[in-house]
Structure formats: C-alpha cells, structure tokens
C-alpha cells in the first residue's frame, strides 16, 4: 500500500499564490513538501532567497508580507539569504513600470539599504525585529555588488547568451511598452538576468517573491540549470492592496501604512480598510484563523486593525490605540501619550485655520487646506471646523489639543 502524499506545512501554504514546480510527490526537485521533509531528516537547512532593491527608504506593510514569510522559514530552522540589491537597484526593476526608471547613485542606494536593515530589525531588540538577526546560522545578508560589480564583458556576454529577445519581450511589462512604442533601454533586459544570477551565486533552494516577480524568479531557475545547479523553487505571495482598496500598496499612490507609524495612526488607517480587502490583510499580515474571525464585517475590520497594530507595537499599545480611535470617532478629547505630537513653532499668530494646517505641515498648500476644511475633513478635539478663516489668537489656546485631518491623521499640538 502506497504512503500518503506529504503535505506542505500550514504556515507555508497560508496565503500562497503560486508555487513552481508544483510537485509530483516523488521527486524532491519538483515537490517542495518532499524537499522539506528530506531537509528535516538530514538536518540540512534550505537556503531561502529574498532579494530587495533599496530604491526607497521606507518599508510598508505591503513589503512586510515577504519578510514575514522569510521569518517563518527562519523559525522553521532554515537559512534566510537576504540579498541587498545594491547593484541592481542602480538599474531598477522594470517590473510594473511603464517607462525606464531613473538610475540611483551608489550613495543613495547605500543610505537606503542601511535604513531598510534597521527597519527589518538590525540593531534593535529581538522582540521588535521582523527578521531573526540574532540566532546563528539563520540569516545571511549579501550584497549583489559582491559578484555583479566585478563581472567582465565576457561574463556579461555569457549571461546575455542564456536568453533571447523573444523571451524578454514575453515579459508583460516589456511587451506592453514595446507594443505601445515606449522605449526600452538595453540595460533593462539585464535586470532579470542579474536577479537570476543572484540565485546562482547564493545557491538558492527557494526564492520568495510577489506575483509580479514570476518572470524574474523563473529566470533564476533557468540560470541555475545553465550553471549545473539544482534549480530553486519559486514561492510567490499576493500583492497587498493599498488603503484605497483598489491599487497595490505603494508610497507613490499614498495608500500605505508604514511599519513604524505610531500605533494610533496605524490602527486608525487599518480599521478603514474595505470589507473586500480585510480577509487578505488578516491572512497575509496576521496569524488569525479566518474561520474564527467575527462574521460581522465591522468587527472583522477592527480585529484586523488590532492584530496588525499589535504585531508591530505589542498588545498594550494596540489596546490603547483602539480605545483612543473610538474616542476620536466619538468626538472626545484624547490625551494618550501615543498620539504623535506636532510643533506650532512655525505658526505666526493670530492664525486662521487654513494657515494653521499649512504651517504645521498637514496640508501642502493654503488652497488644499481650504478645500479640506470646507469638505469637513478638519476636526479640533473632535469638533468639526468648516470655516477656513476661523481665527486662533495664540498657541496657548491650541496647545495639547488633537488635530484630526480626515479619518487617518491625528496629531497633538505642542
């Protein structure tokens, strides 16, 4: 009688969008569950690759999905190989871009990489870290300039020979640009090849990526075969929808929640996430069993906001943020210590309401501030103010009061 097929662990399957190859139950090169079982029996950790290009300075919750899964592999005893794409970042991943990206300087990339690692937990208390920086053997941090910066022309030509123009144009982003007559620079074709070459250099067993990275991850498999290595598995996770409930979470779209936003701002933003996106947030950002989550949509929203906030700031801070958010919605004054402060030192009194918002930096211009106030977005200690020219005589009458702009921004005036 044949044995039952081996299944993937629940923590690995949770939220998974794609796995390739998907397995036949007999070959560990094609069946990840079998590969994991052999790894466990032989006490030989797998190497889990995740590459990040430090093209920005802030990590948001959308980015954190892949880091959470990488941490899960660490906790299961495997080795996380975090590749800082300090060389590839200077080209920029063309995925999802409708035009050639602006190339970053070496200094910009170095500064961004340092910021990324700090946000992931380097140099921070272990309980606040997303990745395990402390346990020996659980994390390798590599920079792909180690092997890419020194490639000679012969080696570059060798890399280019492994792919065809037709294969590159099959990549959706290139295909759209080519058919639309939008220029594609030759150096952009190098990006997926260099990302794939990273897999060769670190001997990756599994590469993590978003669903938009399938072409690049598959390129890694192709290059590992070319260099006579065992090809990696590709494990893809969904792209998190942003706070607008429509487009992916992106700083440029202003629909993000930053990893280090204060608890009240984080909770207040998350509890407004659309009903359609709540289950995705619960699955990808928490450990909550969806079958045990409240069926009522509003209670489900609040649970998600609470659990995500707690995962970043702890349960005490999440409880306080939830209580304060409820008070603010009810129009009550909040004096809790975790409401972020904002200085009035740049405000010249007497000051009109529209000028106040601009001077403290909550509105980008006087005209925007007027529109926000007239649209009912401005509250002071819970009281809606709709007159842009309402005048405040001195800082004394505003000190300690809570400014609310829209549903997500709260600041205490000092």
What mean pLDDT is predicted for residues 47-57?
Answer: 87
CATH number at 376 reads 3.10.290.10
For residue 338, the model assigns a pLDDT of 56
> Within its chain, how far is the Cα of 354 from the centroid?
34
Residue 369 CB: number of other CB atoms within 10 A? Answer: 24
pLDDT digits 0-9 by tens, 196-222: 999 999 999 999 999 989 999 999 999
User: 31 pLDDT exceeds 70?
Assistant: yes
Is 3 contained in some domain?
no
> Domain containing 381: what range?
341-413
pLDDT digits 0-9 by tens, 56-86: 777 889 999 999 999 999 999 999 999 998 8
Q: Do residues 196 and 79 share a domain? A: yes
Is 103 contained in some domain?
yes
pLDDT digits 0-9 by tens, 297-326: 999 999 999 999 999 889 998 998 888 888
As a whole number, the mean pLDDT across the chain is: 87
Q: Do residues 91 and 61 share a domain? A: yes
Higher pLDDT, 33 or 402: 33
Is 4 contained in some domain?
no
For residue 259, the model assigns a pLDDT of 85
Query: Would you call the peptide bond into 21 cis, given omega within 30 degrees of 0 as the criterion?
Result: yes
Q: Do residues 231 and 103 share a domain? A: yes
Is 86 contained in some domain?
yes
Is 60 contained in some domain?
yes
Q: What is the DSSP letter of 258?
A: B
For residue 103, the model assigns a pLDDT of 63
pLDDT digits 0-9 by tens, 161-195: 998 888 888 887 888 888 888 888 888 888 889 99
Of 203, 237, 271, the residue that ends a domain is 237
Q: Do residues 224 and 359 share a domain? A: no
For residue 4, the model assigns a pLDDT of 57
For residue 294, the model assigns a pLDDT of 92
For residue 20, the model assigns a pLDDT of 93
- DSSP lists the bridge partners of residue 60 as 258
Q: Do residues 323 and 232 share a domain? A: no
Sign of CA dihedral 117, 119, 125, 130: negative
The whole-angstrom separation of Cα 85 and Cα 270 is: 30
Is 356 contained in some domain?
yes
Q: Do residues 56 and 140 share a domain? A: yes
Strands (E) located in 152-262: 206-210, 233-237
Q: Do residues 109 and 208 share a domain? A: yes
Q: Do residues 59 and 107 share a domain? A: yes
Q: Which of 382, 393, 402, 275 is nearest to 342 (CA)?
A: 402
Q: Do residues 167 and 315 share a domain? A: no
Is 335 contained in some domain?
no
For residue 293, the model assigns a pLDDT of 92
CATH number at 216 reads 3.40.50.620
pLDDT digits 0-9 by tens, 352-410: 999 999 899 888 888 889 999 998 889 887 678 899 999 988 887 787 778 888 877 88
Residue 412 CB: number of other CB atoms within 10 A? Answer: 18
Q: Do residues 233 and 284 share a domain? A: no
CB 200 within 8 A of CB 227: yes
| Sole residue written with tokens 């007999």 | 26
Is 70 contained in some domain?
yes
Instruction: Classify each residue of 56-93 as buried b or exposed e, where b means 16 or more C-beta atoms within 10 Å of its C-beta.
Output: beebbbbbbbbbbbbbbbbebebbbbbbbbbbbbbbbb
Q: Mapping DSSP to helix (H, G, I), strand (E, B) and coil, where does residue 349 land? A: coil
User: 100 pLDDT exceeds 80?
Assistant: no
For the question of whether the overall pTM of this predicted structure is more than 0.85, the answer is no
Query: Would you call the peptide bond into 350 cis, given omega within 30 degrees of 0 as the criterion?
Result: yes
CB 229 within 8 A of CB 202: no
Angle made by CA atoms 153, 216, 190, in degrees to the nearest 5: 25
Of 179, 204, 237, the residue that ends a domain is 237
Q: Do residues 215 and 274 share a domain? A: no
Q: Do residues 23 and 140 share a domain? A: yes
CB 270 within 8 A of CB 300: no
Count of domains observed in the chain: 3
């Amino acid at each position: 009688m044949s044995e039952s097929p081996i299944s993937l662990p629940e923590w690995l399957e949770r939220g998974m969008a794609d796995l390739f190859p998907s397995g036949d139950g007999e070959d560990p090169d094609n069946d990840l569950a079998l590969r994991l079982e052999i790894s466990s029996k032989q006490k030989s950790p797998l190497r889990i690759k995740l590459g990040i290009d430090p093209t920005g300075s802030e990590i948001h919750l959308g980015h954190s999905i892949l880091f959470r899964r990488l941490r899960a592999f660490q906790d299961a005893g495997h080795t996380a190989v975090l590749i800082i794409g300090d060389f590839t970042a200077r080209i920029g991943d063309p995925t999802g871009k409708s035009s050639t990206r602006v190339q970053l300087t070496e200094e910009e990339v170095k500064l961004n990489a340092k910021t990324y690692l700090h946000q992931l937990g380097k140099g921070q208390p272990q309980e606040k870290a997303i990745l395990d920086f402390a346990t020996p053997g659980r994390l390798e941090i590599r920079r792909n300039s180690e092997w890419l910066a020194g490639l000679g022309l012969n080696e570059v030509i060798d890399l280019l020979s492994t792919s065809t123009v037709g294969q590159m144009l099959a990549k959706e982003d290139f295909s759209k640009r080519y058919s639309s007559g939008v220029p594609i620079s030759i150096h952009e074709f190098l990006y997926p090849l260099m990302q794939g070459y990273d897999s060769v250099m670190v001997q990756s067993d599994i590469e993590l990526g978003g669903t938009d990275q399938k072409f690049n991850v598959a390129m890694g498999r192709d290059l590992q075969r070319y260099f006579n290595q065992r090809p990696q598995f590709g494990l893809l996770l969904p792209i998190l929808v942003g706070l607008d409930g429509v487009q992916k979470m992106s700083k440029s779209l202003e629909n993000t929640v930053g990893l280090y936003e204060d608890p009240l701002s984080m909770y207040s933003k998350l509890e407004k996430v659309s009903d359609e996106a709540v289950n995705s947030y619960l699955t990808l950002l928490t450990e909550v069993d969806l079958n045990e989550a409240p069926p009522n949509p509003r209670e489900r929203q609040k649970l998600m906001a609470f659990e995500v906030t707690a995962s970043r700031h702890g349960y005490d801070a999440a409880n306080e943020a939830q209580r304060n958010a409820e008070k603010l919605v009810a129009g009550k004054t909040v004096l809790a210590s975790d409401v972020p402060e904002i200085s009035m030192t740049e405000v010249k009194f007497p000051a009109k309401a529209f000028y106040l918002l601009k001077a403290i930096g909550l509105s980008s211009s006087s005209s925007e501030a007027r529109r926000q106030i007239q649209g009912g977005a401005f509250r002071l200690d819970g009281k809606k103010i709709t007159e842009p020219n309402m005048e405040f005589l001195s800082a004394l009458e505003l000190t300690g009061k809570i400014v609310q702009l829209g549903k997500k921004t709260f600041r205490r005036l000092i």
